[in-house]
Amino acid sequence: MIKNATQKEVNAALRAEKEILLEMMERQKNVFCQACRDSRLKQLRLENELLKEKLSKLDPSYMGNEELSLELKLGLPQRSTDGTYL
């Protein structure tokens, strides 16, 4: 700050700095929220693939049987038809 600044000028500078910090926090929050949305979208896509895999087990005509299960591809434990892990 300038040594000869009035209290009014100091207050105005502090308010401006506060606004800048609030804007930066909001941008950071938006980036975090976008990351959360991206993560959730990835999770939903994986769940969708698992549901397709289950459907193909119930109705083999839905998808080709020669395809490896998504769980095997990802190295996850195999599930039986009742949903329990083998």
- For 44-85, the pLDDT digits (tens) are 999 998 988 888 787 666 555 445 566 666 666 666 666 665
Quick one: which H or E segment has residue 61?
Answer: none
Residue 5 neighbours by CB under 8 Å, 6+ apart = 13
* pLDDT, position 46: 92
pLDDT in tens, 4-25: 778 888 899 999 999 999 999 9
What are the distances in angstroms from CA 21 to CA 12, 26, 83?
14, 9, 49
Token pair 């109705």 in the structure block, residue: 59
Sorted by where each begins, the domain ranges of the chain are 7-74
**What's this model's pTM, rounded to 2 decimal places?**
0.40
pLDDT value for 71: 63
